[in-house]
Amino acid sequence: MLAGRKILLIITGGIAAFKAIDLMRMIKKAGGDVQPILTKSALEFVTPLTAGTVAGNPALSELFDLGREAEINHIELVRDADLIVVVPATGDFMAKMAHGFADDLASTAILARDKHVIVAPSMNVRMWEAAPTQRNFQTLVDDGMSFVGPDKGEMACGEFGLGRLAEPDVIFAAIKDYFFTFGENLPLKGKRVLVTSGATREPLDPVRFLTNASSGKQGTAIASALRAAGADVEFITGAADVPPPDGVNVTQITTAQDMYDAVHEALPCDVAIFCAAVSDWRPKAVGDKKIKKNGDGTAPSLEMVLNPDILHSVAQLEPDQRPQLVIGFAAETNDVVKHAEAKLVRKGCDWLLANDVSAGSGTFGGDHNSIIFFDGQGHQEWAQMSKAEVGQKLTNQITSYLKQPD
């Protein structure tokens, strides 16, 4: 995921400096290259041996140390990197960055930078809230740096408030997001993809609604794989058991009509994937009070009206407005191939992914899926795989399709 990416990681002297080691492990595991620089005060918390061993590159510290200035030119160090990350950034180091000090290797690298900088501050709550720190923060934001955290919580000094270092996985997500947004070689860079996901809810009265068992896991996995491939993802979701993926534009909806409106609002796009489990109908009238049993003790009857078919409405758009690829899902309980083939034609979509959701299939709410893929020419059975793998495989198919000459 970060293969070939070089990250200059500046570690300054805070009690949370050890978390930079966890961050380095994550970057390395994702295939990235880390060059650590430790400030003098960071050496009180992390040894160059630990940092260098985890990074797989010698940890550097002083500007003129080891007689290595000729060997490791501090300007080249910055030119070589794709991104600079400061973890943790103390109040003192923020002040140095904001005022252009350059009296050690870390601050010199910052002053000589031609790369984006992500800063994860860590300090006592009073130091964070102090007017000079807040001025420096604003200056650094104005200079184009981005910030992760600080978080709220208990501090090493026993006080409580804003100032804790963001967790390493959150800083790691910000690093990945930077490369997704600015990476040049990602296959879906510049493509806009719309994904619907989750379950719609159709209210009957103020406290009841009709819905289904969709967990939103498959739609989320697809959106995540598309994002990782560099696409700009419009993620339009109903109720789901899992949070939306990082880095996508989320629109949360309740009813099928809301989803219809949000989808048409989000157009145009290059590819549209309809993974949501949409309610085909809704109660004709929504009571403004809780519906009671009938006076004679019988159950009230419900009159239903049809919801708009969102997938169909997009597949039928005029060629100048229609996405290049319109992809539907079919959740079937029997005769999957027969029903799916008919659905592809009826809906007018280009591809259809059919899955068996019969009792015992484990598809709804589970982490795996068995897909039969229809592209209008024929069908292919995909081996059972995780929903994440389905997301990846579908993303690869989309990438190859969009690469074909017209």
Interface positions with ligand C5P (CB under 6 A)? 196, 256, 274, 276, 278, 280, 307, 309-311, 328-330
The answer to whether the CB of 22 falls within 8 A of the CB of 168 is yes
Minimum distance from residue 14 beta carbon to ligand C5P (Å):
48
Nearer to ligand C5P, 229 or 263 (CB): 263
Minimum distance from residue 337 beta carbon to ligand C5P (Å):
14
Of 157, 269, 275, 349, the catalytic one is 157
Nearer to ligand C5P, 137 or 209 (CB): 209
Quick check: is 269 catalytic? no
Minimum distance from residue 383 beta carbon to ligand C5P (Å):
22
The answer to whether the CB of 255 falls within 8 A of the CB of 202 is yes
Minimum distance from residue 276 beta carbon to ligand C5P (Å):
5
Strands 208-210 and 304-306: unpaired
Minimum distance from residue 140 beta carbon to ligand C5P (Å):
44
d(CA 56, CA 53): 5
Nearer to ligand C5P, 244 or 328 (CB): 328
Nearer to ligand C5P, 61 or 197 (CB): 197
d(CA 283, CA 274): 23
Nearer to ligand C5P, 42 or 311 (CB): 311
Nearer to ligand C5P, 85 or 278 (CB): 278
Minimum distance from residue 355 beta carbon to ligand C5P (Å):
11
Structure tokens at 147: 């910030």
**Which of the residues are catalytic?**
157
